[in-house]
Chain A
C-alpha cells in the first residue's frame, strides 16, 4: 500500500488491525459465498435461479421494497420538512423517535406490527371493515418495510434542508415568485440528490430485511415469501447450493445498490459542496 509521508504514528498498527479484521470477518466469508457457488454448474445455477418459487420471491421482495421506499420518499420528505422548518410542540421528542426503527430490534418490530395489523388488531380491524387485509399479505410486508425505511429518508434529507440558504428564498420572493413556485423551482431541486439517496438506502435495506417482515408477511410461497426467508428455508432443507446461489444473487444486488448509493452521495456532495 503506497502512502505519502506523515509524522503521525500508528499507520502500521492501525492498517494491520483494520485489514486483518476486515479480511477475517468480511472478505473471506464473502469469498466463501462466491466459491461455493462455483461448485454449481451453470445449468444448475440457472435452474435454481429461474425456479418459479425463487422468481416469485424476488418479485415480492423487489416490488414491496420499491413500494415501501416510494411511500417513505413522500412521508419522509414531509416529516423532514416539518421538523426543519415549522415550529411544533415536543419537537425534540418527535425528532428523537424518528430513529426508533434503527434502535428497536427487528423481531420486536415484527411481532408488534403483526399484532397491530392483524385482522383483529387495533389497526387491522379498521381495515377489515373496509374489506382490506394487511397482515399476512404482501401489503403487510410493505407496512413493515415502511417502518424500517422511514428514518433513512428523513435523516438524509434533513441536513440538506437545514443548510438551504434562506437568501435563496428571499431572492425568489423579491423577484415576485409565489410560495408554490418558490418550492417547485428553488427549494425542491437542490433536495433531489438527497431524496434519491434516502430512497435508495430505504430500498436497499428493504430488499434484505428479514426480522420485521416474517411475522407479518404470512410467508405463503409464491405470494408473500421474501428472498431472505427462502434462503433460510433452503438452509433448513440442507439445500446449501440453492441457498448459496440465491445468496450470491442478493449479494450482487447489494453491491449494485452500494454503487448507486455511493454515486448518489457523491452527487449530493457536489450539489451541497460538503463532505
Chain B
C-alpha cells in the first residue's frame, strides 16, 4: 500500500499546536522500531553472534540442506497450483454473474480465518492412520501424513486465498469491456487471455504470487501438525528452526532463521517494487 502525505496538513497550519504531530510521529517510529525493526535486526545479530565460521557451518549442514530442498520443492508445487486456481477463481467471480457468488468468495477467504493448526488437523483426519483414506494410501506405499504429500496439502490449504483475493478486486475494477472488445474483434479464448487479460493483471498476479510464495516457504503451524518432524525427510526450514531451537542450539537456529528473514526482506522489497510498478501503470492508464 502506498502512502502519500497530504499536500497540506490541515491541522498543522500556522497557529495550530505542533506538539501532537511530533509526539505521534515519535510514537509511531518507536513502535515500528521496537516491534518490527528490532526483531529483524536481532535475528541477524544472533545468527552471527558466534562469528562467520559457525554461521557457515550451521547452514552448511546436511539436514539444513535437506530442509532447504524440501522447502523449495513445496513452494515449487504449491505456488503454481494456487496461481492457476487463483486465476480461474478470479475469472469466474469477477467476470460472471451467478447465484452463490458471495458464498464462493467467502469460501475462498476461509483458510485465512482458520487456525493453521486446524488446517493440519483436518488433513490428519482425512489421510492419517485413523482417517478416511489414510490406511488405503499407506497400503499403496504412498503415505500422506508424516510425509511430503501431507506437507504440500497443508501448505496448499493455508495459501489458497493469496492469488485469488489479489486478483478478484483488481479484475472487478477493470471491468470486462476490453475482453468483450477482443472477442468482438474475433479473438479466440486463449488469445484473449494471453493478449488482453494477462497483461492487464500481471502486476496484481505477481503480487499475489510473491505473498503466496512467502507464506508457502514460511508456513509453520499447519506443516508442523502433518510433518512428523523427520530430519532429512519431512523437515522444512521453519520446522528445522524449531528443532534446533528446542535442542538449545541457538546459534544454528538463528542462522537458519536468518535465511528465512532474508526471504522476508526479499519479499518486502519485491512487493514494494511491484506496488511501485502497479502505481505507475495505473498512472499511465488514467493520464
Contact = CB atoms under 8 A, between A and B. Distances in A.
Contact between chain A and chain B defined by CB under 8 Å: yes
A259 to B, nearest CB: 9
Interface in A73-129: 75, 78-79, 81-88, 91-92, 94-113, 115-116, 122-123
A236 to B, nearest CB: 10
Given A103-B264, A107-B238, A247 B91 contact: no
A211 B220 contact: yes
Contact of B224 (A108, A116, A232): A232
B242 A104 contact: no
A225 interface: no
28 contacts: A3-B98, A8-B95, A8-B176, A10-B189, A14-B88, A15-B88, A17-B89, A18-B89, A22-B108, A26-B110, A29-B125, A29-B126, A78-B24, A86-B5, A94-B28, A97-B37, A100-B40, A103-B264, A103-B271, A104-B261, A105-B264, A112-B43, A112-B257, A146-B35, A208-B117, A210-B115, A227-B115, A258-B109
A35 to B, nearest CB: 8
B217 interface: yes
Contacts of A27: 107
Nearest to B240: A107
A175 interface: no
B77 interface: no
Given A7-B183, A26-B110, A30-B122, 9 more contacts: A2-B99, A8-B180, A32-B131, A79-B28, A86-B5, A97-B268, A99-B268, A232-B117, A254-B114
A50 to B, nearest CB: 20
Contacts of B106: 258, 262
A104 B271 CA distance: 13
A161 B73 CA distance: 41
B171 to A, nearest CB: 11
B245 interface: yes
Most chain A CB atoms below 10 A, which of B104, B125, B183: B125
A159 B1 contact: yes
B3 A78 contact: no
A28 interface: yes
A172 B239 CA distance: 55
A166 B6 contact: yes
Contacts of B214: 102-103
A88 B29 contact: yes
Nearest to B218: A105
A9 interface: yes
Interface string B93-134: 001111110001011111101111110011111101011100
A249 B257 CA distance: 33
Interface residues of B, number: 110
Interface of A: 1-4, 6-11, 13-15, 17-18, 21-22, 25-30, 32-33, 36, 75, 78-79, 81-88, 91-92, 94-113, 115-116, 122-123, 146-147, 150, 155, 158-159, 162, 166, 169-170, 173, 179, 182-183, 204-205, 207-211, 215, 227-229, 231-232, 235, 240, 243-244, 247, 250-251, 254-255, 257-258, 261-262, 275
Contacts, number: 320
Contacts of A115: 42, 46, 250, 254
Contact of B104 (A18, A209, A257): A18
A140 B96 CA distance: 47
Q: Give the top 9 A-B pairs by smallest Cβ distance, nearest first.
A: A208-B115, A105-B218, A3-B98, A211-B220, A210-B221, A29-B122, A9-B189, A228-B117, A17-B88
Nearest to A155: B1
A87 B85 CA distance: 41
A264 to B, nearest CB: 13
A153 B286 CA distance: 30
Interface string B123-147: 1111010111000000000000000
A232 B229 CA distance: 13
Nearest to B7: A166
Given A10-B91, A29-B157, A81-B24, A105 B220 contact: yes
Q: Which of B39, B123, B220, B268 has the most CB of A within 10 A?
A: B39
